[in-house]
């Protein structure tokens, strides 16, 4: 059995975005802090967001509460990474 490997929050967010949107590694590597998400990416509907939150919880071993989730969180890639980084240090 291979051992647990720690993922950085940014790497985890990038990997999950890649899986949801069906992008290549190169495409998702082009995401910057300013890349717009919700509204700009039609694939990112409420069902996809639900999967994204649970998958981040699972990959980063964090718990995200209802009241932490608002529209601003999904505005940009940078917001989402900053949130994930904040959660892992809690």
Q: Which residues are at the interface with other proteins (CB under 8 A)?
A: 1-7, 15-16, 18-22, 43-55, 57-59, 66
Residue 8 CB, nearest approach to other proteins (Å): 10
Residue 80 CB, nearest approach to other proteins (Å): 15
19 phi, psi to nearest 5 deg: -70, -40
- Cβ-based nearer residue to other proteins, 65 or 90: 65
Residue 86 CB, nearest approach to other proteins (Å): 19
Distance, CA of 67 to CA of 16 (rounded, Å): 22
Token pair for residue 50? Answer: 């639900």
Contact by Cβ (8 Å): 56, 84: yes
């Amino acid at each position: 059995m291979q051992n647990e490997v720690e993922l950085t929050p940014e790497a985890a967010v990038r990997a999950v975005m890649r899986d949801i949107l069906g992008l290549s590694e190169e495409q998702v590597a082009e995401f910057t802090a300013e890349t717009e998400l919700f509204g700009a990416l039609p694939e990112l509907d409420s069902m996809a967001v639900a999967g994204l939150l649970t998958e981040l919880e699972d990959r980063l071993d964090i718990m995200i509460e209802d009241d932490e989730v608002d529209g601003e969180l999904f505005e940009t890639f940078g917001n989402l990474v900053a949130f994930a980084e904040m959660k892992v240090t809690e």
